Structure 1
Amino acid sequence: MIGLSSDVRVWLATGHTDMRKGFNSLALRVQETLKRNPHNGNLFCFRGRRGDLLKVIWHDGQGACLFVKRLERGRFLWPSMADGVVTISAAQLSYLLSGIDWRMPQKTWRPEAAG
């Protein structure tokens, strides 16, 4: 389980990524494309061309962790290359991993009175 602190940022690598890449290749992409330090404890997310596969690389201070999720149906909603570098909150990451539109999640209706 990823124990995220409140100051952790989640970065999305816009566009698609070759999903054959592993730790070193993804960390190099973070460094060169996102211009970020891949070892600073933030999460960096990459999506494949078809959109149903997502990889998350995270350095926990002791080593790199690589998480992979494949959706059985649907696609991960992803920003376009024109959006540039995109950062989202941990809550939005939760939506993203669930296949929910993290850009505009729908709030549920709450009653205003008990009666």
Structure 2
Amino acid sequence: MIGPPANTRIWIAAGVTDMRSGFNSLAAKVQMVLEKDPYGGHVFIFRGRRGDLLKALYWSDGGLCLFAKRLEKGRFAWPRADAGVVALTTAQLSLLLEGFDWRQPVEAVRPRSAL
């Protein structure tokens, strides 16, 4: 996955979002509910009620981009809060988009090297 630029913040919109929402209604939610600027170059992630669909809103090069990802099995890990925003790192975003629980990543166990 190609990540956003280094100075880009990634925000999860906690709670449930109507996945019929498009550019304008998601941008309005970012402004009114999350109290952020949807045109500031940051990524805003939304999840539907069933939990298997995400939408990401991102301002880039003078236009809004809307991305969607659906899981074939399982649900995306999501914060328990009903409202507000949660900041993610690019590593956490990668885990989220692959269907892993970004909140509690499991550290890989490395074998000890023989001396």
Assess same fold via TM > 0.5.
yes
Aligned residues: CA RMSD? 1.6
> How much identity, in percent, do the aligned residues show?
55
Query: What's the CA shift string for 1:63-107, capped at 9, x where partnerless?
Result: 010000010000001112357321111110000001101011111
Q: Hey, what's the Cα distance between the residues in 1 that align with 2:34 and 2:17?
A: 13
Structure 2: tracts of 5 or more residues without a match? none
Aligned pairs for 1:61-76 (under 5 A) are 61-76=61-76
Which has a greater percent of helix?
1
Amino acid at match of 2:88: I
1:93 and 2:93 matched: yes
- SS in structure 2 of the partner of residue 45 of structure 1: strand
Structure 1: tracts of 5 or more residues without a match? none
1:59 and 2:26 matched: no
Match of 1:112 in 2: 112
1:39 and 2:39 matched: yes
Q: Hey, what's the Cα distance between the residues in 1 that align with 2:49 and 2:103?
A: 20
Residues 105, 49 of structure 1: CA spacing in aligned structure 2 closer, same or farther, 3 A cutoff? same
Match of 2:8 in 1: 8
Deviating beyond 4 angstroms after TM superposition, the runs of 4 or more aligned structure 1 residues are none
Residues 114, 63 of structure 1: CA spacing in aligned structure 2 closer, same or farther, 3 A cutoff? farther
Query: TM (normalized to structure 1)?
Result: 0.92
